[in-house]
Amino acid sequence: MTEVLPSGAVSFRFFRPNVLEVFVAGTFNNWCLGAAPMVWQGDGWWTITLNLMPGSHQFRYVADGQWYTDHAANGIEPSNGIWNSLLVVPEPMAKRRAA
């Protein structure tokens, strides 16, 4: 699950109990596994909040080395035979009003 917060940051939430580590990897961090480790919140939930540039981003979660698509995101897109999750980050409100 993703949510764009009022600050413009993006909150990622992923449910995967019984794993030791979870990362979010995507076009925003060059698919680098170690760049965005998620934090265990208990009851099977992992979270991270990232400041991302406005625009479309593809991403996936990686739990104990296994890749997962977030079907609750803004959509999914095929890429090299894999379905990546889609995240759309809007322009900040102040910037949209000025335009």
State pLDDT tens for residues 77-90.
998 889 999 999 99
Neighbours of 69 (CB within 10 A): 17
Question: Per-residue confidence at 93, pLDDT binned at 50, 70, 90?
Answer: low
Question: Per-residue confidence at 91, pLDDT binned at 50, 70, 90?
Answer: confident
Q: What is the pLDDT of residues 19-43, one digit of tens each?
A: 999 999 999 999 998 899 999 999 9
Domains of the chain: 2-98 (2.60.40.10)
What's the chain's average pLDDT? 91
- What span, in angstroms and rounded, lies between the C-alpha atoms of 83 and 24? 15
